[in-house]
Structure 1
Amino acid sequence: MAETGLIAAAVLAAAASVSLAADISPQRQAELEHMVIQDCGSCHGLTMKGGLGKPITPEALAGYDPEGLAAIILDGVPGTAMPPWRPLIAEAEALWIAEYLKTEKTP
């Protein structure tokens, strides 16, 4: 019985995350896309195929879920050059970026 409740909670949390990401305005999406290309691209390469940071192409991120990637975007990776972006973007925006990286054909 408790397991069913945990599964339901996980499904609701995932649905809430998706709807939050969908609520981002087209203008903000364009700003986030620009940030990915300029800021993320400065370490991960302008083609996102790697540089100082690892590749973040859809192929390289295929094994990662968007929520996990959003957590990395928000909190960074201690001991690496990956900074936390939480002071600059909201959780829904980090999830939008994660989904964008997993699906879009970045430059």
Structure 2
Amino acid sequence: MERPVLRVRVACSLVAAALATPLAFGQASRGISPERTQQLVHMVRQDCGSCHGMQLTGGLGPALTREALANKPVPYLAAVITHGLQGTPMPPWKALLDERDAYWIAEQLALGFPTQNPKK
């Protein structure tokens, strides 16, 4: 199977899995404590920033700015965070993040993460 076709199939599978989840855009932040919010902010800035650039404007990995992610649905972003992206250096983070954490990060990225006052 050609790589572009495989990537499209993997991406479609991730989107389908994400859409099957009960969390919807705008709801992930419910129930996340302020302490966990700060942990997630730190994780994104340090761990994600190590590949995507400390300002998330790109590095080894692509930019994670609001503009760069404008055509990516939050469920897709959450699925990529959770499961990684096969054939790329993007690892799965499901060992460290639950579904709500992944959606919160995806929402924040879609809004223009990092922010000084993340949505709680």
Counterpart check, 1:96 vs 2:90: no
Deviation of residue 21 (structure 1)? 3.0
The structure-2 alpha-carbon separation of the partners of 1:105 and 1:91, relative to structure 1 and needing over 3 Å to count, comes to closer
- One of 58, 80, 85 as aligned partner of 1:72: 80
Aligned counterpart, 2:34: 26
Deviation of residue 64 (structure 1)? 1.1
Of Structure 1 and Structure 2, the greater helix share is in: 1
User: What is the alpha-carbon root mean square deviation over aligned residues?
Assistant: 2.0
Deviation of residue 18 (structure 1)? 4.1
How many equivalent residue pairs?
A: 96
Aligned counterpart, 2:71: 63
User: TM-score if structure 2 supplies the norm length?
Assistant: 0.72
Q: Is the 8 A contact 2:78 2:106 kept in 1?
A: yes
Aligned counterpart, 1:45: 53
The structure-2 alpha-carbon separation of the partners of 1:19 and 1:106, relative to structure 1 and needing over 3 Å to count, comes to closer
Higher relative contact order structure (alpha carbons within 8 Å, sequence separation ≥ 6):
2
Aligned counterpart, 2:22: 13
> Looking at CA atoms only, which structure, 1 or 2, has the larger radius of gyration?
1
Q: Is the 8 A contact 2:75 2:103 kept in 1?
A: yes
Deviation of residue 82 (structure 1)? 0.4
Q: Output one character per residue of 1:30-58: Cα deviation in whole Å (capped at 9) or x when no partner.
A: 10000000000000000111000000001
User: TM-score if structure 1 supplies the norm length?
Assistant: 0.80
Deviation of residue 59 (structure 1)? 0.9
Unpaired segments of 5 or more residues in structure 2?
1-18, 116-120
Q: Which runs of 4+ in 1 moved over 6 A?
A: none
